[in-house]
Structure 1
Amino acid sequence: MVATILVGMLCAHLLCFAAMFLLISKRLHGKKMGLDFFAVGNLLLGLAYVLQLVEGGPAWSVMSVVNHTLTLASPVAFWLGAMRFFGRPVPLLRPLLVFAAVYSMAQVLVQWSLGPVARYAMLSGVSALMFLLMAGTVVYGVRTFAKDLYGEMVFFAALIFGICVLNAVKFVKLLSGGLAALQMDADFQLVFYIYMSFLATVLPPSIIWLVLRRLTDELRNLAARDPMTQLLNRRGLNDALQLYFNSRKAVPAHALMVDVDHFKRINDRYGHQAGDTVLCHVAQVLHHTVRRGDLTGRIGGEEFVAICLDSDVDGVMQLAERLRAAIESQAVAMAGGGQMLHCTVTVGVSHHFMGAQGLEAAMQEADAALYRGKAAGRNRVELAACAQNGLPVQRTDCPSDTTKTAM
């Protein structure tokens, strides 16, 4: 009686959360993040337990074959849903239908050749193997594609491994004790149903939490990036610098201001679409030229900025010159006619600064150097002067020769 109540509650949880997942996925429109797949997984497992209640116990029937197939198709749907959550465009219907056909045929063959105990043991054994692979994939994800979800992924791995262990124990009990191990009121079955009810209560809200966190992260990322070039905007630069300078390994940084030469002339002559192409090209070159860990941003119009971390002024000047030379040497392909356009940039380099609050002053330094470079002929790299408003600036990295040109 207790086991029947537990399975009934389990069915209710699974079917209710299936409906919830489906409703939420419809609100997400184009980017469902696997919630529609998770809805199918909950629905399949809920229906499997409904059939188990109707069946009442181990039996050889079409209902039993469908029950076993739905039970194992559910983790397949969850696995595919997880792949969708992490951006893999996998289909759902075809893999499920292929799996259902193959496993249904396998049940018939095992039942006829080895008997009912072997068929039920196959269900437990395959379940244990599938959940072991899922737990291993989650652990692998913690170290690779899901580092930002470390705590959540470890939690999921522990829960999934628990299902693996219980199915492995059931497999052993079936081989040693036969179908008697599957009696609903047996002690082990009660433990199994309690754990499954716990999972049905905990896992769906956890999945919703993951989706909400991912949506929040994407909204935060959109607010911190320029929509055209995908570089950081001013807000994103400030936030990233706050994180960097709050770390124990933080060292002084330098700011590079990059401005596309004669950009208005490009827009007037070739059109705004060509201008946008040039901006995206410069952003791409900037992103690939800076070192790993440096920050890149677009702060408006044709102006870009790079924040170089953990480097001295000579290293920053060399990087700025590589950037200038790379943009000068690479032609930009215009959309449509295949016309190639060359552009150049002028780069202003600040002296070092420490702390996110120093970014504004560093950008003013770099901007002043940038405009000196513009006045001196453009297509140059210019280091900030050692004085502002006639007053000396106390800098340890201020060399005697403050200007370097690329020409």
Structure 2
Amino acid sequence: MVATILVGMLCAHLLCFALMFLLISKRLQGKRMGMDFFALGSLLLGFAYVLQLAEGGPAWSVMSVVNHTLTLAAPIAYWLGSMRFFGYAAPLWRPLIAFSVVYVLAQVLVQWSLGQAARYAMLAGISSLLFLGMTLTIIYGVRTFAKDLYAEMVIFALLISGICVLNAMKFMKILDGGLEALDMDSSFQMAFYIYMSSLATVIPPSIVWLVLRRLTDDLRDMAGRDPMTQLLNRRGLSEALKVFFNTRNPAPAHLLLMDVDHFKHINDTYGHQAGDTVLCHVADVVRNTARHGDLTGRIGGEEFVVICLDTDSAGVMRLAERVRAGIEEQAIDVAGTQHPLRCTVTIGVSRPFASTQALEGAMRDADAALYRGKEAGRNRIELPRTPHFHPDPHAGRATPCQRTPSEPAVLSDGSATHQQP
């Protein structure tokens, strides 16, 4: 009787949380983070327990076959939902339908060849394997794609491993004692349903917590990024630098401040849409040229920033030259123009700095160098005026376009300007 009450409560929990997950997925709209999959998994498992109550005990019937199929389809839906939560485009209906058809045929074959006890043992055994796979996936995720959710994932792994162990024990009990091991009032079944009821109470709110945590992280990330280019803004650069400088003995950082040459002329000649295309192109070159771990940002208008981490002055100069040359060499296709546009950038380099508080000083340092580069002819790299900055002489001071201010600078499809710096 107590076990029947526990199963009834389990059904109510699962069906209520299925509705809650569905409502949350509707509110999330485009980015559902697997909540619709979790809703389906809870619904399938809830109906499976409803059928178990209606069945009353082990039996060979259509209801029993459907019950077993739904019981195993539910963790598969949860598994696929977890993949969606972490950004993997996992399909839903095709694998569920394929599994259901295969498992129905497997039940018929096992029932016909080995008997009813073997069919129930197969259910417990496959359930144990499924939850073992989920546990191993979570452990792998803690080391790779879910590092930011370390504590939560460890707790999930422990809870799900408990289901794995209980189903493995049920499998062994059925093999040893037959269908008597499935008696609802046995001590093992009581422990099993108490554990499952506890999970049905704990896990769904935990999933909601993970969704809220991810949404909060996304909002924080959006607040730290430029909406057009998705590069970091000033706030994002400062927060990322705090993380870097809070590590043990970080090396000094260097700042590259770059400005698109004659950007106002591009806007006035080809329109603001062309200007936005140029900015996005420059952002892509900066993002793809910077080393892994460097911080890339747009701090307003046509000004971009690269904060070089864990490198020396020579490495900073090499990176600056790669960025400058990459922007100069690549043509930009703009809608409404007959020929691709081209642009250049002038880059100012700061002195090395070793704290987040020194970021503004590095900005001023690089801005002064940038202004000198503009006065000297643009499309060049200008070093800080300091005896402490000594780039490798073999790297060369990257000033490949040492034009006088009166020399024309190519801006677009062959047109030129004599605009003063």
What pairs up with 1:342-381 in 2 under 5 angstroms? 342-381=342-381
What pairs up with 1:291-370 in 2 under 5 angstroms? 291-335=291-335, 339-370=339-370
Structure 1 residue 217, shift from structure 2 partner? 0.7
Corresponding residue of 2:274: 274
Whether contact under 8 Å (1:383, 1:404) holds in the other structure is: no
Corresponding residue of 2:412: none
Corresponding residue of 2:104: 104
Corresponding residue of 1:48: 48
The runs of 5 or more residues in structure 2 that have no matched partner are 402-421
Corresponding residue of 2:399: 405
Distance in 2 between the 1:335 and 1:189 partners? Answer: 68
Structure 1 residue 318, shift from structure 2 partner? 2.2
Alignment partner of 1:132 is 2:132? yes
Distance in 2 between the 1:194 and 1:337 partners? Answer: 70
* Residues 112 and 274 of structure 1: CA distance in aligned 2, closer, same or farther (over 3 Å): same
Corresponding residue of 1:392: none
* Paired residue type of 2:400: A
Distance in 1 between the 2:277 and 2:143 partners? Answer: 37
What pairs up with 1:39-78 in 2 under 5 angstroms? 39-78=39-78
What pairs up with 1:22-33 in 2 under 5 angstroms? 22-33=22-33
Distance in 1 between the 2:218 and 2:242 partners? Answer: 19
* Paired residue type of 2:399: T
TM-score by length of 1: 0.94
What pairs up with 1:63-212 in 2 under 5 angstroms? 63-212=63-212
TM-score by length of 2: 0.91
* Residues 131 and 372 of structure 1: CA distance in aligned 2, closer, same or farther (over 3 Å): same
Distance in 2 between the 1:25 and 1:54 partners? Answer: 31
Distance in 2 between the 1:335 and 1:118 partners? Answer: 67
Corresponding residue of 1:3: 3
* Paired residue type of 1:123: L
* Residues 252 and 184 of structure 1: CA distance in aligned 2, closer, same or farther (over 3 Å): same
Structure 1 residue 251, shift from structure 2 partner? 2.1
* Residues 397 and 158 of structure 1: CA distance in aligned 2, closer, same or farther (over 3 Å): same
Structure 1 residue 398, shift from structure 2 partner? 6.4
179-188 or 105-114: bigger deviation: 105-114
* Paired residue type of 1:397: F
Corresponding residue of 1:242: 242
Corresponding residue of 1:390: none
Whether contact under 8 Å (2:244, 2:250) holds in the other structure is: yes
Distance in 2 between the 1:337 and 1:2 partners? Answer: 77
Query: Percent of counterpart pairs with the same letter?
Result: 71
Whether contact under 8 Å (1:321, 1:406) holds in the other structure is: no
Provide the alpha-carbon RMSD of the alignment.
Answer: 1.7
Structure 1 residue 56, shift from structure 2 partner? 1.3
Whether contact under 8 Å (1:259, 1:345) holds in the other structure is: yes
* Paired residue type of 2:237: L
Distance in 2 between the 1:254 and 1:13 partners? Answer: 56
Distance in 1 between the 2:117 and 2:249 partners? Answer: 61
Distance in 1 between the 2:89 and 2:199 partners? Answer: 27
Structure 1 residue 404, shift from structure 2 partner? 5.7
Whether contact under 8 Å (1:351, 1:398) holds in the other structure is: no
Structure 1 residue 311, shift from structure 2 partner? 2.2
Corresponding residue of 2:16: 16
State the Cα deviation string for residues 169-202 of structure 1 (Å, max 9, x = none): 1111111110000000111111111111111111
183-192 or 84-93: bigger deviation: 84-93
Distance in 1 between the 2:345 and 2:388 partners? Answer: 28
Structure 1 residue 30, shift from structure 2 partner? 1.4
* Paired residue type of 1:112: W
The runs of 5 or more residues in structure 1 that have no matched partner are 387-394
